[in-house]
């Protein structure tokens, strides 16, 4: 499941765990980009719109 992209919470629930701690400990290595992918998917887009979007205070 992890290698196919299932979130660790889904794996934990499928295995009957009360939280993700055990799933993270034993299965997170199967998804080495799990943290980076989650951040990319859920974080807001913080890219600047160009140099005009940056204001300089004097």
pLDDT tens figures, 2-55: 888 888 899 999 999 999 899 888 888 887 677 777 788 888 776 655 555 555
CA distance 53 to 48: 6
> How far is it between the farthest Cα atoms of the chain?
58
Rounded to whole angstroms, how far apart are CA atoms 2 and 10? Answer: 9
pTM, two decimal places? 0.51
**Sign of the dihedral defined by the CA atoms of residues 30, 31, 33, 34, in that order:** negative
Residue 7: its pLDDT value, please? 86
Parse the chain into domains and list their residue ranges.
1-42
């Amino acid at each position: 499941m992890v290698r196919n992209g299932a979130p660790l919470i889904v794996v934990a629930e499928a295995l009957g765990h009360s939280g993700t701690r055990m799933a993270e400990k034993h299965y997170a290595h199967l998804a080495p980009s799990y943290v980076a992918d989650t951040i990319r998917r859920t974080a807001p887009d913080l890219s600047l719109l160009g140099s005009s979007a940056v204001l300089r205070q004097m």
